[in-house]
Amino acid sequence: MTKAMLKQPYKRPGVTINGAEAEVCLWAPLAKSAAVKLESKGDILPLEKAAYGYWQLTTDKLLEGSHYKFMLDDKDALPDPASLSQPDGVHGASAVVNLNAFKWSDANWQNPVLQDYIIYELHTGTFSDAGTFEGIEEKLDHLVSLGINAIEIMPVAQFPGERNWGYDGVFPYAVQNSYDGAKGLQKLVDACHAKGIAVILDVVYNHLGPEGNYFNEYGPYFTDKYNTPWGKALNFDDAGSDAVRHYFIENVLMWFRDFHVDALRMDAVHAIKDFSPVHLLAEIKGRVDELSKETSKPHYLIVECDLNDVRYINPPAQGGYGMDSQWIDEFNHALRVTAGGEKTAYYSDFEGISHLAKAYNDAYVYDGQYSPHRDKHFGSKAVDNTGEQFIVFSQNHDQVGNRMLGERSSELFSFEMQKLMAGAVLTAPFLPMLFMGEEWAEANRFMYFVSHTDPELAEAVRQGRKAEFAAFHAQGEAPDPMTEETFNNSKLQWALPAQGKHKLMLDFYSELIALRKALPALHQLNRKQTFAQADEQQNTLILSRKSCEQQAIVLMNFSVNIQTLYLPATSQSWNKQFDSADVKWNGPQASAQKVDGGKSVQLQPQSFLIYVNE
């Protein structure tokens, strides 16, 4: 039996199982007719035209697992733009999934407050040998013992083939088939919650990938008004944009409501072009707040933003978009230049340790100054924004994988410097994030890889990658992103954490994360009680962190020489809590356990010390 629905669109586009029936909602404003084609029997179910360009239907002929496509004006059938499953890839039929069928066991789960997050970014395909959600689940005990309480999963929206970073997805509602699909992701989230781990999902709302992108066949999902570095901009403020906004807002709500995801990380939101009176992000924030009232659970919105604009993270009451937190690449850039990394491309804007101190003090390095790389004054001041509104790291998928050869810090910096960089991140008054394998100094590179099935597009990507790094020919050839070898060579080596220096680094990270959680001065992200001072000549930095009951001093030496630094003058002695140069960490020599206020400390090369005064 089928019947038309002449009512407002169902809250989620696509096909939704509702009891014994399926509700179909399709936006195709230019079509004169629309129908569902069942792939197994060839049945064609006409859709009824509704308001605002939508087509709808309620039917009992679409069941869990049914394969289907949409037909517009009796033309070739196309996959559903809001498909929940693409079992045969981006060009194949869509499949019906009942998201309500999963039996959750996380009713008592409490999403940690954002300031407590210790984040671990991972890529599903290369995190484990299996390259699936089940492969992640098998390693959760490792993450728990490390001290991680939030994993950030790189995008899982369906992309061409089986190998991709995820930013070429073309079905934002469909979970990658080669990763285990929607049910596999639900199972992973449930397992994470059982282990005390929150799940952050990376999503892409600034563009869609090129292969398998059928959106133009359905309606004006894109606009010619703007462009992005990756192609046409999505239509968030032009004619027909109401339905496009609806499509992506419901996608946000789906992840929180139907997958129990705890937070979303939205990719490059500076490329979301929207001059509407209410920006898309502000509208998303309002709808997420409504959902939180219904679920009685917090749902966080994290953004990657290249603008140093506090409008993105300020609350709506202050004219902001209300995002809960953002990545700040500038901390990474300043840290890596301080550590001796190259000063090319966007790194050329950073002066090393003076800029690292500014990042600790001000969050944004550029908050109104002239930027030579951008050739303009850039940024705004983040005076009243709290520590949990910023996420810092020494490496991530971009900073590693966008290098020509995909080298990790383990290949670019000494063992001692890697420990110091970890200390710089984990003592910051911001949320720390690790990139998978960093905790044991993973030796395998993380390279750029794709598996396009369109030969012309595959070759274009291959040649584009070569052209991008033509000036680096002395370092060798850019790895072919299309080969399975490039992908396999990017996988983590899970035998390493039990071996030699790799085990030592893992223990080092575990103890440092535990200390961050235990010391009130480090755990409480009080930016008003944070002060960093750099000595450019010595290449040293003194970071002061305070809570109501405790002061912590972090002494960092980025130079290759022993340096003398002084602890603040106090009536009580300073007690050492951590020493990266201790022989237990394979360092050259431990510093004094107790030091009187105002006295000096000998700081070993490329090392850091943490002292506290109660």
Q: Could you list the active site residues?
A: 267, 304
Dist CA 68 CA 64 (whole Å):
11
Q: Is the Cβ–Cβ distance between 367 and 407 less than 8 Å?
A: no
Residue of 260, 274, 261, 221 lying closest to 81 (CA atoms): 221
DSSP 8-state code for residue 424: H
Residues forming a β-bridge with 535: 540
From the list 156, 161, 126, the residue with the least C-alpha distance to 457 is 161
Q: What is the rounded distance in angstroms from the CA atom of residue 227 to the CA atom of residue 576?
A: 53
Parallel, antiparallel, or unpaired: how do β-strands 48-49 and 54-59 relate? antiparallel
Q: Is the distance from CB of 198 to CB of 324 less than 8 angstroms?
A: no
- Please give the structure tokens belonging to residue 530: 């944070």
What is the CA 26 to chain-centroid distance, rounded? 30
Residue 289 makes CB contacts below 8 A (sequence gap 6+) with none
Token look-up 């602890």 returns: 567
DSSP line for 229-282: TTEEEE-SSSTTHHHHHHHHHHHHHHHHHHS---EEEETTGGG----SSS-HHH
205, amino acid identity:
Y
Give the span between the Cα atoms of 288 and 548, in whole angstroms. Answer: 33
Burial of 576 (0-12, 13-18, 19+ CB in 10 A): middle
